[in-house]
Amino acid sequence: MDQYDPAAMSEASAAGAATRQFTLPSGDILTVQEPATGHAVAAAIGSGLARAALAIKLDGVTYDLARELPPSASGQPGRIEIITERSGEEALELIRHDAAHVFAASVLELYPGVKISIGPPIESGFYYDIELPDGTNLSDADFPRIEARMREHINADETFVREDVSVERALELFTAQQQDYKVELINDLVSNAPAEAPVTSVSLYTNGPFVDLCRGPHAPSTKRIKAFKLQSVAGAYWRGDSSRQMLTRVYGTAFFSKQELEEHLERLERARANDHRRLGPLLGMFGFSETAPGSAFWFPRGTEVFNELVKLSREMGRPRGYTEVKTPQLFDSSLWKTSGHWDKYRENMFVTEAEERQFAIKPMNCPGHCQLYLMQRHSYRELPVRYSEPGLLHRNEASGTLHGLLRVRHFSQDDGHIFCTEEQIQDEVAGVLEFAFATYRLFGVDVRLELSTRPEQRIGSDELWDRSEAALRNALESRGLQYAVNEGDGAFYGPKIDMHMTDSLGRSWQLGTCQLDYNFPERFDLTYTGPDNQEHRPVMIHRALFGSYERFIGIMLEHFGGELPVWLAPTQAIVLPISDRHVEYAAGVTAALTEAGARVETDDRTESISRKIRDAELRKIPFMLVVGDREQEAGEVGVREHRRGDVGSLSVTAFAQRLAELITTRATA
């Protein structure tokens, strides 16, 4: 089942080796008495480390501390590393796997007849799939009882004992316990094993009264789990096969301290609250329907926000020399053959047929822009040519990978393509970066820059790559910009600069990109007439700052938790008449503010004012304008700001001016 090979071990002992050597992370050599277990190695380094140790890594493979370490395959001293609480994810994975066993032990005790299947550690926690006995079910309400039982197993500090047993013995054990899933797993291990490496034994892990079929590794004992929590219940088919039994999957997580657990749960809670798929409908912006998977339906307010971004791209692009173009949706397969998509990207495209010709809907704008460039003659005098197009794109993403606005099939990029001479690259890239910073500033977002250089697989001479990488570096350095280098991470057709942000939940998102491309100009045979009257090859730069408008809106909603800057808020102000006799005045205020360019609503329901305020707060509307007798007489509005509450009264004119200024200056706060 793993690298453990008793035969090789006994040979080593027979050779009379009473000690063994290992290489420490520092490079020093450590000599340990046989039998060399992880415990022995940790103790030889220091008693403090021996106490803190959770497991040991030998040549990249993790072993239980109690196991005798296998001999090094190379004959050289193996590289070791002791895993402790401070080892990060690897350490957490160990105790989360431990917690999965403790969970299974507990449900077996609390739900006699339960059948257990598999329980691995996963990113940020663990799960265990179980089949509950007939007539029982399990919900969040049962968690406290199960957690209490788990705590007993943890407080008892049960040692995890590994034992390698014959397949026959393991089958006997799990058959007697009527653990059918374990029996099936063992039988499959045997029948799926290659002929040259038959499976004759399996490993079992015991903690307290509980035995599980398991590869390991585990921490020494249950008490290493310092804080844990069961989180949710879901259904999961046995082996992911919808024709098999539906099992109950219980998710949980574990940490080395209560504080870390709490911080984690808090982050999850905020992520749930900030989920753009929840906020979209709540703010009246967009929704999804199974009639068009992976494609948002934009409600009027959402469409206005979307259009604000398109407007912003246009407004900022025009003075920077971008000219907007429009290219088709559907192209003959010949275009995709020229671009290379037909060979390399076809399964991600929606393909269709008409009059016995094959067409595909564009997944990106670049080939269309190359075709457009080709359709006119270009002289060096008019370069750089900068096309922009908020074009509609479709990509055939697998339905299982779709995720709100962040992973879609239908979207629009704020796409731009620059065709320029090689000498112009540096200025053009600097121009793209300036454009990017000016854009991100409007959202109060800082970006990190990453320069990705030549990959192994690439086209073009080294000399060409030297020049293009230098042009990107110079563009960055001439502006004194900090950047990280991702060696070998460039596209096969050229190096690129990517722009990343960290959101309010600490997650990293790529926003913009600026890529040099020598490939498309070659494939499409793009040329310009030089001063020498000869035809020359231009260089192409692909750039997008938002990535796609959809994705950017999704990221901003999550980053701001739905509290978008005023200029971008779907509804910027809502007028709240205190009673029916103020509705007419409220309608007048709404009209005046709409006239001033704002997105405004009136809440004329016959609800109490406190109810209206609460609902507007939930919708995260930046300004609530309360109007009653006093305001009506004075021609004023009582201004409440989201989260801040009452900020005093203003005349309608003064408030309209203030709001219009926030909108036209695209103020961040």
Residues in touch with Zn ion (CB under 5 A): 214, 366, 542
Contact 200, 191 (CB under 8 A): no
User: What span, in angstroms and rounded, lies between the C-alpha atoms of 453 and 488?
Assistant: 5
Closest CB 64 distance from Zn ion, rounded Å: 12
130 vs 366, which CB is nearer to Zn ion?
366
116 vs 285, which CB is nearer to Zn ion?
116
Closest CB 542 distance from Zn ion, rounded Å: 3
Query: Is 542 among the catalytic positions?
Result: yes
In the chain, helix, strand, coil percent, each to 5? 40, 25, 35
Q: What is the DSSP annotation of 417-432?
A: EEEE-GGGHHHHHHHH
Query: Is 341 among the catalytic positions?
Result: no
286 vs 493, which CB is nearer to Zn ion?
493
Query: Is 395 among the catalytic positions?
Result: yes
Query: Is 489 among the catalytic positions?
Result: no
214 vs 501, which CB is nearer to Zn ion?
214
149 vs 542, which CB is nearer to Zn ion?
542
Burial class (CB in 10 A: 0-12, 13-18, 19+), 171: middle
203 vs 572, which CB is nearer to Zn ion?
203
SS3 of 47-87:
HHHHHHCCEEEECCEEECCCCECCCCCCCCCEEEEEECHHH
- Asked if the peptide bond before residue 217 counts as cis, ω within 30 degrees of 0, the response is yes
Distances (CA, A) of 405 to 345, 511, 523: 22, 14, 33
Measured over the CA atoms of residue 34, residue 35, residue 41 and residue 42, the dihedral's sign is negative
Closest CB 160 distance from Zn ion, rounded Å: 9
Measured over the CA atoms of residue 437, residue 443, residue 444 and residue 448, the dihedral's sign is negative
57 vs 542, which CB is nearer to Zn ion?
542
Catalytic residue among 395, 473, 619, 640: 395
Catalytic residue among 366, 370, 420, 514: 366
User: What span, in angstroms and rounded, lies between the C-alpha atoms of 352 and 329?
Assistant: 12
Contact 563, 418 (CB under 8 A): no
Catalytic residue among 413, 515, 572, 632: 413
Query: Is 153 among the catalytic positions?
Result: no
Query: Is 67 among the catalytic positions?
Result: no
Closest CB 364 distance from Zn ion, rounded Å: 5
Contact 620, 563 (CB under 8 A): yes
Q: Can you read off the two tokens belonging to residue 188? A: 């499959």
Count each helix (H run) and each strand (E run) in the chain, helices first. 21, 34
Query: Is 415 among the catalytic positions?
Result: yes
Closest CB 540 distance from Zn ion, rounded Å: 8
Closest CB 205 distance from Zn ion, rounded Å: 6
Burial class (CB in 10 A: 0-12, 13-18, 19+), 336: buried
User: What span, in angstroms and rounded, lies between the C-alpha atoms of 375 and 13?
Assistant: 78
Closest CB 441 distance from Zn ion, rounded Å: 24
Closest CB 365 distance from Zn ion, rounded Å: 6
User: What span, in angstroms and rounded, lies between the C-alpha atoms of 149 and 132?
Assistant: 17
Coil, helix or strand at residue 161: strand
Catalytic residue among 101, 229, 542, 582: 542
User: What span, in angstroms and rounded, lies between the C-alpha atoms of 56 and 627?
Assistant: 69
In DSSP terms, which residues pair with 632 in a beta bridge? none
239 vs 642, which CB is nearer to Zn ion?
239
Catalytic residue among 98, 129, 414, 415: 415
Distances (CA, A) of 655 to 17, 112, 347, 652, 669: 87, 68, 54, 5, 16
Closest CB 97 distance from Zn ion, rounded Å: 6
Coil, helix or strand at residue 23: strand
185 vs 366, which CB is nearer to Zn ion?
366
User: What span, in angstroms and rounded, lies between the C-alpha atoms of 525 and 537?
Assistant: 8
What residues are labeled active site? 366, 395, 413, 415, 417, 496, 542
